[in-house]
Amino acid sequence: MAALWIHAVEQGLAYGIAALGVFLTYRILKFPDLTVDGSFVTGAAIASILLVQYGVDPFTVLPIAFVAGGIAGLITGFLNTRLGITDLLAGVLTMIMLYSINLRIMGRPNLSLLRVPTVTRVVDAVWSPLGSLAILAFIAILTLAIKVLLDVFLQTEVGFALRATGDSEPMITAQGVNTKTMKILGLVVSNGLVALSGALVAQYSGFADVGMGLGTIVTGLAAVIIGGTLIRSSRVGWMTLGVLLGSLVYRVAVILALRYGYVIGFQASDLKLITSLLVILALVVPYLRERRLRKVSAC
Amino acid sequence: MKRFIAVVLLSLVVVSVGFSAASAPLRIGICKIIEHPALDAVEQGVIDALTAAGYEEGVDVEYLIASAQGDFSTAIAIAQNFKAQNVDLVVAIATPTAQAAVEVFRGSDTPIIYGAVTDPVGAELVPSATDPSGNENVTGVSDMVPVEAHLRLLKELSPDINTIGIVYNPGEANSAILTEMALAAAPSVGVTIVTATADTTANVPLAAQSLVGRVDAFYVTTDNTVVSAIDSVLAASEEAGVPFLMADPTSLAQATLAAGFDYYEHGLTVGQIVLDVLSGVGTDEIPVTYQPSAEVHLNLDAAERIGFVFPASVVDQASAILYGGIIWERQSP
């Protein structure tokens, strides 16, 4: 059972990187960006073809995937800010384009990584003294490093301008900041992170598939909102921590549903229902406790 | 007396072995990527094959049945859950589920039996289709559709059939490879292939319509996206007045003719491999098994609507016909 919890945390953190990307657009920029369902696969596709066809080092493909995702974000940003297409539609259009582009990158809809070295396999071999914790340790270090980098970035002058663009566009325009450039920058970094997550998840899973991005926006948003509910803070560091926590809650819910769902008589087809009920539980318990505390203090 | 004691001892051993088997049923994890009539039928076929061989559910065998519900990350979590629960054998239905299981069970000796995988070698589940020695803990059954035989069947319908239109989703691994195979086989059959792609079910009607007037026959393989909107392909073929061959007999009512195997039979074949492995045959002794498929089913109602008459040679091959809304099976001689 311990192994299962380790896997849940591994997945929570690996998908957490994508959730940080969604956080950047949805929470910071207030830009509902649907590009991510496509850019997640773009990262996986670039990573896989480089590993399979060109024998590139599995760690090197991660930053390359980030760049590829960034280009996807650039396209959405260009469509929105330069061609005046609304935010939702710009993201949808890029996402649809990416479906064909991802197929072009991979050359086929499914690329197996079962017989090439991947980050998880290399880490498993090199960090073998850590045993079953090796992969978890690697993913945790990578994800937390990205979280800290993102925190630092959002504290810089550019980062402040980015946050201000989401908070109050007219005000920051009056300050002489080009909000269009800020939006593009945010979309580039966001989709870069999502693609990096895709590259990591593909290596973790042992394959890349053109359909694997489906629902990235949904689970990413779920992580952002769960995180925002569990950790209420306007400090960037706490907010990003909350996002990772939210991503963990979701994966733990999936594992719990899989492990114990059938014990209490649920069928395989009930999985998504149980998962969502568990997430609701995770959200409601702190809410109810808070309300009770407020009532007590009101007395 | 000695003999009596020996018999008593022997029977005690037999009984205790029997008891230990009964107290710890075999645990088999079955996972599929999504709820889908074909994949559900495979799952049922596996269970029925085991039941027929005497593995009673709840007594001799316990099934852990899971569906990733279309979510690839869940496919990994399911395999991890199976591993954590120490299942004795995994049945993985469809390509991504099988890949996830192989990745998670890497280095373990738990057998993984895949089903509903078109190209197990391309998916790198096993290194070779014919030589099983490198299989490690993986083997299974391919649902490869005999595309070339289907093209020949279409050509047999009428010598005037020269251009065949295929509607497919290029995003489905199985479909993409079957379409490639059709393109490769076309010259030797003496036909030309024209394709129309649909990335979602909603786009299938448009793709099918785009072929009207350009092709002499329609052909659809086991493409999940297209099968979900199969009626629109039939409508397009009827508008064009040309026959439509479907590579899945369960969709006979929505085609002029259908050839191939039933996915329930496919499940029974997967179940047979499971039984072989349970009886001690190594996964590295079983090469990729290809689903035998020879059945041809004809829809006379649909043929009548386009004024098409099946040639006698094709009627002779048919194992079932749909006529007057009823399916008539050929009685075995």
Chain A residues touching residue B84 (CB < 8 angstroms): 1, 3-4, 7, 259
Partners of B62 in beta bridges: B27
**pLDDT one-digit tens code per residue, A210-233:** 999 988 999 999 999 999 988 988
Q: Select the residue of B81, B100, B122 nearest A258 (Cβ to Cβ).
A: B81
Distance CA B27, CA B45 (A): 17
Distance CA B104, CA B119 (A): 20
Chain B residues touching residue A15 (CB < 8 angstroms): 73
- Single pTM value for the model: 0.85
The interface predicted TM-score (ipTM) is: 0.88
Reply yes or no on whether the pLDDT at B202 is more than 60: yes
Average pLDDT over residues B325-331: 85
Chain A residues touching residue B33 (CB < 8 angstroms): none
**pLDDT one-digit tens code per residue, A96-142:** 999 999 999 999 999 999 999 999 999 999 998 888 899 999 999 99
**pLDDT one-digit tens code per residue, B144-175:** 888 998 999 999 999 999 999 999 999 988 89
pLDDT of residue B166: 97
Determine contact: A103 vs chain B, CB below 8 A.
yes
Taking CA–CA distances from A204, the nearest residue in chain B reads: B103
Chain A residues touching residue B172 (CB < 8 angstroms): 109
Question: Is the CB of A209 less than 8 angstroms away from the CB of B173?
Answer: yes
CB A70 within 8 A of CB A191: yes
Tokens in use for A224? 């952002």
| DSSP secondary structure letter of residue B108 | -
- A199 within some domain: yes
Determine contact: B76 vs chain A, CB below 8 A.
yes
**Identity at B38, one-letter amino acid code:** A
- A103 within some domain: yes
Average pLDDT over residues B299-305: 93
Q: Of 3.40.50.1860, 3.40.50.2300, 1.10.3720.10, 3.40.50.720, which CATH number belongs to B2-143+264-290? A: 3.40.50.2300
- A151 within some domain: yes
Determine contact: B275 vs chain A, CB below 8 A.
no
Average pLDDT over residues A7-29: 96
Reply yes or no on whether the pLDDT at A286 is more than 90: no
Domain that holds residue A96: 2-215
Distance CA A195, CA A190 (A): 9
Question: Is the CB of A271 less than 8 angstroms away from the CB of B67?
Answer: yes
Question: Is the CB of B74 less than 8 angstroms away from the CB of A254?
Answer: yes
Taking CA–CA distances from B100, the nearest residue in chain A reads: A205
**pLDDT one-digit tens code per residue, A138-190:** 999 999 999 999 999 999 999 999 999 998 888 888 888 899 999 999 999 99
Determine contact: A112 vs chain B, CB below 8 A.
yes
Reply yes or no on whether the pLDDT at B185 is more than 70: yes
Q: Select the residue of B78, B172, B199 nearest A99 (Cβ to Cβ).
A: B199
Determine contact: B209 vs chain A, CB below 8 A.
no
Q: Tell me the backbone φ, ψ of residue A92, rounded to 5 degrees.
A: -60, -45
Question: Is the CB of A103 less than 8 angstroms away from the CB of B170?
Answer: yes
Chain A residues touching residue B65 (CB < 8 angstroms): 262, 267-268
CB B315 within 8 A of CB B148: no
Determine contact: A153 vs chain B, CB below 8 A.
no
pLDDT of residue B173: 84
- A58 within some domain: yes
Q: What is the rounded (10 degree) CA torsion for A27, A32, A33, A37?
A: 100
Determine contact: B128 vs chain A, CB below 8 A.
no
What are the CA-CA distances from residue B32 to residues A131, A177, B91, B292 (Å)? 30, 51, 9, 22
Chain A residues touching residue B171 (CB < 8 angstroms): 99, 103, 109, 210-211
User: Which pLDDT band, with edges at 50, 70 and 90, does B3 fall under?
Assistant: low
What are the CA-CA distances from residue B213 to residues A151, B204, B239 (Å)? 60, 17, 9
Distance CA B227, CA B248 (A): 9
Question: Does 2.60.40.10 match the CATH number of domain B147-260+295-329?
Answer: no
- A269 within some domain: no
Determine contact: B71 vs chain A, CB below 8 A.
yes
Determine contact: B126 vs chain A, CB below 8 A.
no
For B:12-51, CB contacts with A below 8 A are: 35
Q: Per-domain residue ranges for chain B?
A: 2-143+264-290, 147-260+295-329
Q: Select the residue of A115, A211, A258 nearest B78 (Cβ to Cβ).
A: A258
Determine contact: A107 vs chain B, CB below 8 A.
no
Chain A residues touching residue B176 (CB < 8 angstroms): 108-109
Chain A residues touching residue B127 (CB < 8 angstroms): 115
Determine contact: A127 vs chain B, CB below 8 A.
no
Distance CA B157, CA B312 (A): 9
Residue of B72, B87, B179 to mutate, testing the A interface (most A Cβ within 10 Å of its Cβ)? B72
User: Which pLDDT band, with edges at 50, 70 and 90, does B306 fall under?
Assistant: very high
**pLDDT one-digit tens code per residue, A241-278:** 999 999 999 999 888 888 887 777 788 888 888 888 88
Determine contact: A283 vs chain B, CB below 8 A.
no
- A262 within some domain: no
pLDDT of residue A280: 87
Distance CA B189, CA B211 (A): 20
Instruction: Please enumerate in sequence order all residues whose Cβ is within 8 A of that of A286, keeping only pairs 6 or more positions apart, or say none.
Output: A229, A230
Taking CA–CA distances from B77, the nearest residue in chain A reads: A255
pLDDT of residue B111: 97
User: Are B2-143+264-290 and B147-260+295-329 the same fold in CATH?
Assistant: yes
Smallest CA–CA separation between A217 and chain B, in Å?
Answer: 13
pLDDT, mean over chain B: 89
Reply yes or no on whether the pLDDT at A91 is more than 60: yes
User: Which pLDDT band, with edges at 50, 70 and 90, does B43 fall under?
Assistant: very high
Instruction: Please enumerate in sequence order all residues whose Cβ is within 8 A of that of A132, keeping only pairs 6 or more positions apart, or say none.
Output: A3, A6
Average pLDDT over residues B85-109: 95
pLDDT of residue B6: 53
Chain A residues touching residue B125 (CB < 8 angstroms): 112, 114
pLDDT top residue among A1 and B10:
A1
Q: How many domains does chain A have?
A: 1
Tokens in use for B187? 């010259």
Q: Tell me the angle at which helices A271-298 and A236-260 cross, rounded to the nearest 10 degrees.
A: 130
CB B278 within 8 A of CB B89: yes
Smallest CA–CA separation between B239 and chain A, in Å?
Answer: 30
Distance CA A140, CA A130 (A): 13
Partners of B71 in beta bridges: none
Under 8 Å CB pairs connecting chains A and B tally to: 110
pLDDT of residue B292: 75
User: Which pLDDT band, with edges at 50, 70 and 90, does B19 fall under?
Assistant: very low
User: Which pLDDT band, with edges at 50, 70 and 90, does A58 fall under?
Assistant: very high
Low-confidence winner among B157-166, B290-299, B314-323 (lowest mean pLDDT): B290-299
Question: Is the CB of A114 less than 8 angstroms away from the CB of B70?
Answer: no
Tokens in use for A105? 């990158």
Average pLDDT over residues A81-104: 96
Chain A residues touching residue B199 (CB < 8 angstroms): 99-100
- A38 within some domain: yes
- A173 within some domain: yes
